[in-house]
Structure 1
Amino acid sequence: MSSIKEGVFTLINVQNLTYALKDVQNISMIIILIGILVGMMCILLSMSFAASTDKAVKKIIHAMGKADQGDYDVQIAIEGKDEFATIAHHFNDMIVKIKESNRQERDALVREKNAEIKSLEAQINPHFLYNTLDAINWVAVENEEFQISKMLINLAAILRYSIQKCNEIVTIDEEMEYLKRYIYLQQQRFCYSFQCMIHIDDSLKHSRIHKLLIQPLIENTIVHGFPGKTGHDEIELIIQKKNDTYIQIQVEDNGKGMARELTEVFNSYDYRKDKIETSIGVRNVITRLKLYYGDNSYFHVDSSEQGTSVTIMIPYEI
């Protein structure tokens, strides 16, 4: 009683501990349940991503296996825009390029085989041919047929030059000696119905060139370029240096020209795709330019009713 009288109070609160911690336990349970739920969702998402990744990887591996076995028609279906779709896209592009490359290689092998067969079919014993021409020449001399004798001598020289080491590199001077003999025989054949002027930069006479790159162009002009024996048909061959790194060869004529479609064929001719059916000599020149010099070569035709001009560019070599 004394404490109450003195105004001093002591407050004592008595509460059940289990009841007090009940809310804390509930909150803990909720947090635990949320954690478990989040964890399960993460596991499910991980499993879904792993399954999707596994599926994409298996598709790529399966396609690679078929390609490795030689099936170049295989393609991967592209789904979505993720990294695997990018890989599938690049794989599909690569397969298309490999397939095209293989096709071109097969075509090249077929061309090579056909060329070998044709070469064997056309093979002639050079010694027999030269000896026969020599025998005919002596008969012509004995009968004082000196023009025939000169033609035979030039023909024998042309055949010897053409047959021996057909892919040999020669000087432009040597090529011109052969070309002049060829032009002489063609002038005899066509009764001098055309003239051929040759202009060569003196500094290029000893530069080197692959054989028989010019003669087919001259032949094409003589056989197809002129309308007939007009007596005014002219061919001009111009060989000069360009930029100290290239040799420019131009064959120009005042003939009837060629169809625009044919000039377009020549200017866009791809020997790896196109088949040689007509104008074999010109297409042969274009093909050999690409085989010999690659992208360092140039071939172009301009033609109209006033004539045709063929331009070749090859690297300057000494």
Structure 2
Amino acid sequence: MKQTKLLNKYLDLPIRFKILLWFIPLLLATIAITGWYSYYTAKNQVLDKINLAQQEYTNQISNQLDFISNDALDFTNYLFLLSSVQQFLNPITQEDSLYRRQQINEIVSSLLVNQRDIQSLVLYGYNEEVPPLAINQTGLTSTMPFSKFKETQHYQLAIEQKGKPSWTLLTGNEDLFEGDHGTKIILTRVIKNSYTLDDLGVIIIGINEKTLRRKYTEGLSNNGQMFIVNKDNKVITSTDPIWIDKDIDQVPYIHRTATNAISLTNNNWMIAQSEAQNGWKVILGQPRKELLEELNTIKIWTFLLSAICSVIGVWFSWYVASIITKPLHKLTKSMYKVQEGDFNQRVEFRGKDEVGELGKGYDMMVQRISRLIDDVYRSRLSQKEAELKSLQAQINPHFLYNTLDTMFWMAQKKDDKDIADMIYSLSQIFRLSLSDGKEFVTIGNELSLIENYLTLQKSRFFHKFEFEIQASEAVQDIYIPKLLIQPLVENAVIHGIESLDEDGFIYIHVIRESNNLLIHVMDNGNGIPKEKLHHLNEYLQTENLDENTNFNPENRPGYAIMNIIERLKIKYGNRADMVIDSDPGVGTKVKIRIPLSTPKQDSNELE
């Protein structure tokens, strides 16, 4: 119901508003889509470039971390090969140990000056009589006893590596370097005897985490967050120190998959990552919102230009719609005046487009209407006179009925019963066939007409046939199309019974079966040849009446049957049908089926 109201409102709108109703939304949608696509393309390009720059930056840091780790490893290899270190860890005398300590201190101190990334060095010997050697950038320092160091995870991991380097994170809670509680990334490695390959001690190299963080994470723009993660996915340094020594999974927007790959938990961040040779991962994350702030100017200008284009487009659409509809408005005003009787109207549009052709056709139409009105006005008087004469010449049906009634009573007075019965039957036939112009009649009226018709035919053929009409009271008041059965009875008389000498019989049977009305008309006349009967039934079963034109005229039924089947198809469609069954020399049976579901129209149609 609402859709119908909206459709009616739309149809009632002027053409100008209909054009605007379709054009303006299309225009605005086009501008909006173009603006959005431009901004979206620019945003993606900026993000792609930033992501590429992030990836290059993390690759550079990974290379530098490789350089630092390789320097630390080379440093341990160098010390491993120094005879001073070998003799320090396995001294012959105490004096020799002191001498070697001083010698190592001088060598390592000079090396640490050139290795700014390495802050501390510790040498533990398995010979507990040899005190540990601890050196940092400022000189000699002290460290925890070897017996205590052996209880730490750093020592256990170094032993498991069997001479290979082990990287671990030394937090401020562990007093490896007394007085220095800063977090360090340490390399722990077992030193072996260069001749026997027996374990002599442990070397520890410390890299200050704060120095590493300041070197790589300070100065990141757009609130970027950097994480350097070791093989165990522990954060060894990050922009925010709170994540140090925590699993990378604990960062809210980072997720580690089952294959140890790093992914994002939401789309609010962008991440670039790379992996160093020693297994460390560099992860750089930056919030999209911060990155896209630079695009705010583009967004504002895109919106302003879209708004300006929309305003100009709407104004231009209104202007164009006015130009297009102005001739139609002029045509409408002219039509209103024509409706008031002014046939001198002319629109005289210029141009040969559709509107120009419409105006030209309108002007010609008004001229012709004006001439036709004059012609019609002149002919009306003569037409009225002809109608009066025609009415005077018509025979009033009531006059016909009254005349037949007079003839019936005159025959009765002369005691001529046969003539009286024939006149009465003829009068009833006229009354029932005319039926006051009604299209539908009751079964009772149709059967009464047939009874009178057969009564007249019996008188004509000298009582050579008999007939029987059978219909229950239940079907008497059902409406059917007028003269539906009578033509079939007439065919039975003319084509079936007329050529017989005697003992002809016609049987009419009407019954109701479920929701259908069944009409049977049977006779014991000559019948129909089988080939012709086949063509007749094929014709009657054709769904499309127009297709019947393809039938050979010799195989078509007579006018009466054609009229009946065409009326059935028009009134009931394929729900009604007619079938003819016949045997030559035995007789013919015509069966009609009519549905009873059609509502009565004007109280005269089938119930």
Measured against aligned partners, the alpha-carbon deviations of 1:69-106 in whole angstroms (never above 9, x if no partner) come to: xxxxxxxxxxxxxxxxxxxxxxxxxxxxxxxxxxxxxx
Q: 2:449 aligns with which of 170, 178, 197?
A: 178
Which residue is 1:314 aligned to? Answer: 594
Residues 411 and 417 in structure 2, CA contact (< 8 A), matched pair in contact too: yes
Counterpart residue type for residue 406 of structure 2: A
Q: Which amino acid aligns with 1:310?
A: V
Secondary structure of residue in 2 paired with 1:164: helix
Can you list the C-alpha shifts for 1:183-238, whole angstroms capped at 9, x where unaligned? 11111111111111222244222222222111110110111012634322111112
Q: Is residue 521–residue 590 contact of structure 2 (8 Å, CA) maintained in 1?
A: yes
Match of 1:294 in 2: 573
Does residue 161 in structure 1 map to residue 440 in structure 2?
Answer: no
Report the counterpart of residue 248 of structure 1 in structure 2. 518
Q: In 1, are the aligned partners of 2:520 and 2:589 still within 8 Å (CA)? A: yes
- Identify if the C-alpha distance between structure 1 residues 166 and 299 changes in structure 2 by more than 3 Å, giving closer, same or farther: farther
Q: Hey, which bits of structure 1, 4+ residues long, moved more than 6 A?
A: 275-278
Matched, 1:145 2:416: yes
Q: Secondary structure at the match of 2:526?
A: coil
Q: Which has the higher contact order (CA 8 A, sep 6+)?
A: 1
Ranges in structure 2 where 5+ consecutive residues have no aligned partner: 1-389, 597-605
What percent of counterpart residues are identical? 35
Cα distance, 1:146–1:226 mapped onto 2, change above 3 Å? closer
Provide the rounded CA distance (Å) in 2 between the counterparts of 1:218 and 1:255.
Answer: 12
Judged with a 3 Å threshold, the aligned counterparts in structure 2 of structure 1 residues 202 and 139 are, in CA distance, closer, same or farther, namely closer
Distance 1:261 1:294 in 2: 27
Give the secondary-structure state (helix, strand or coil) at the position aligned to 1:255.
coil
Say if 1:194 and 1:221 are closer, same or farther in 2 by CA, change over 3 A: same
**Which amino acid in 1 is paired with 2:488?**
L
- Going from structure 1 to structure 2, the CA distance change for 1:262 and 1:132 (only over 3 Å counts) comes to farther
Q: How far does the alpha carbon of each residue in 1:32-71 deviate from its partner, in whole angstroms, 9 at most, with x for none?
A: xxxxxxxxxxxxxxxxxxxxxxxxxxxxxxxxxxxxxxxx
Q: How many residues align?
A: 196
Aligned equivalents of 2:398 and 2:534: distance in 1? Answer: 42
- Name the aligned partner's letter for residue 288 of structure 1: R
Which of these residues, 228, 240, 248, is aligned with residue 499 of structure 2? 228
Gaps of 5+ in 1: 1-119
1:139: Cα distance to partner? 3.2
Q: Is the 1:266–1:283 Cα contact (8 Å) retained in structure 2?
A: no
| 2:474 is the counterpart of 1:206 | no
Residues 533 and 582, structure 2, Cα contact 8 Å, conserved in 1: yes
**1:227–1:256 Cα contact (<8 Å) kept:** no
CA RMSD after TM alignment? 2.7
CA distance, structure 2, for counterparts of residue 310 and residue 160 of structure 1: 26
Q: TM-score, normalised to structure 2's length?
A: 0.30
Name the CA distance, whole Å, in 2 between partners of 1:192 and 1:219. Answer: 16
Question: Per-residue deviation at 1:278?
Answer: 6.5
User: CA separation in 2, counterparts of 1:203 and 1:163?
Assistant: 25
Indicate whether 1:134 and 2:405 are aligned.
Answer: yes
Structure 2 distance, partners of 1:128, 1:176, is: 25
Hey, what does 1:266 align to over in structure 2? 536
